[in-house]
A and B are shown apart, each in its own frame.
Chain A
Amino acid sequence: MVTPLGIKEGKADMKLKRCRDLKTVLTEKEELLLMRFRDGEASWGERWSARRLLGSCSAARDYLEQLGVCGDFIQWRSTRMEHQLPASWTLFPGIQREIEKQELLRAVTSPRKGGWVLNAETIVRVGWGLTGALTAASVMILVAPSPEPESKRERGVGSLGVNPLVAASVQPVRLSPVSTLSGARSSAGAAETHSPLAGQQYGITWFSSGGKVQVIGGSRSETPVLWISRNGRVSRRASPTPDVPSAVFANDRRVAQSPLLGR
């Protein structure tokens, strides 16, 4: 049997196989583009791309050529089948019989109504739904801030346990002298603070530093000066006003462990 292109049927099958083999050369996108181009379904831009591809790539030209051969071969096969079939022959009775058989089979083998079949698709859907719900919940938590209870707000949530602003609105924020601080004398002659309320005396909610912090001065009418010594010792220089009390807070590393300032 000879095809319309003059290729024998066996050779046409080989061509078809080669046509499939050529798909390894071009990408799927390029193949689809060439198919649409050949079928006349390509848009203006796709036609331009296809022409450009054909102009630059021999594999594309081969593929298009094979597509043409394949297309002609398929057309020839279908034409031949049409010619072989009798004009009065129709497939519908046979198809209808098959449909009825399949429906009967489905009615017998299908689960009861209301039953729930756990298949892979259901699992995937439930999984995605749960993921979506979790994401939505996370976004909600992040975006919609929860209101702070009134009692908690009044007490303050700072690391010192007292909101300095609320406290300050009741008591003056002007700092009292460090005589209120308790603690043992250090080698540097300064009183080391151990009270977690020490920072509150200075209106400090939390504090961290790369060095040791020395509080200098701070009478009832004045705020103190925070002196940060980063050389690992409490201010090498002596305070010029010995009667001014001072207190060492802590360096950054100790703050993390000590109750001092709550950090």
Chain B
Amino acid sequence: MKIHGLRVLKSFVLACLLGFFTGVSTAPAQQQQPTQDLDIVRLHLRGIRALGESGSQETFIAEGLGDIANKLRSLPFSRFSLLSNDEVAMPVHRKRSFPVAVNQSVTVRPLEIVGDVVSLWVSWRDGRGNKVIDTRIAIRRGDEMIAGTEMDNSEEGTVLVISAR
């Protein structure tokens, strides 16, 4: 019985290996992808805290946010301060999480680079693990993706800025 079991196991393993190598060897060669998988994209992630009613007072934008000041002014808040600021070089397909605000994190994975356009998978979750956004977005190098959400009390919000270099 033991010998029979061993024979069966041996034939099973051989079948697996044979099928695997046959499949691998008969698979057509991969065509040259236009993407540059080995490329590295430099990402700049900023977490911004937004406060105050817009319109009621003058808009205050913290230092370091001048490049996106115009866009921040379109948001319904009057005060913007920097909570987190990370600048990293990430290879394509590598995933990494960054803090956005207290108990909030964003996971970013560069998916493709075509020319100067970078495709990113962005998953932002709040402190309770709820999904704020989960998206695949393409941005041009030098541009930024800006997304924001209001907190539970609606009196303050968090803004995420991801720019590709």
Contact code string B49-74 (vs A, CB < 8 Å = 1, else 0): 00001110000000000000011011
Q: Which of A210-263 contact B (CB under 8 A)?
A: 210-211, 213, 216-217, 222-231, 235-241, 244, 252
- List, in ascending order, chain B residues with CB within 8 A of A102's CB: none
Q: How many inter-chain contacts with C-beta < 8 Å in the A-B complex?
A: 182
How long is the Cα–Cα vector from A82 to B27 in the complex, in angstroms?
70
By secondary structure, the A interface counts as mixed
- List, in ascending order, chain A residues with CB within 8 A of B154's CB: 231, 236-237
Binding site for A on B (CB under 8 A): 4, 8, 11-20, 22-24, 27-31, 53-55, 70-71, 73-77, 112, 114-115, 117, 119, 130-140, 143-150, 152, 154
Q: Which of A120-147 contact B (CB under 8 A)?
A: 121, 124-125, 128-129, 131-133, 135-137, 139-141, 143-147
Could you list 30 examples of A-B contacts with CB < 8 Å? A124-B8, A136-B22, A139-B16, A140-B27, A144-B27, A147-B30, A164-B138, A165-B117, A168-B140, A169-B114, A173-B139, A173-B143, A202-B137, A204-B135, A204-B137, A207-B134, A213-B133, A216-B74, A217-B74, A223-B145, A223-B146, A224-B146, A225-B75, A227-B149, A228-B132, A228-B149, A231-B152, A239-B74, A240-B74, A244-B74
Task: Known A133-B19, A173-B140, A205-B119; judge A252-B131 contact (CB<8 A).
Answer: yes
* CB of A204 to closest CB in B, whole Å: 5
Task: Known A173-B140, A222-B71; judge A129-B134 contact (CB<8 A).
Answer: no
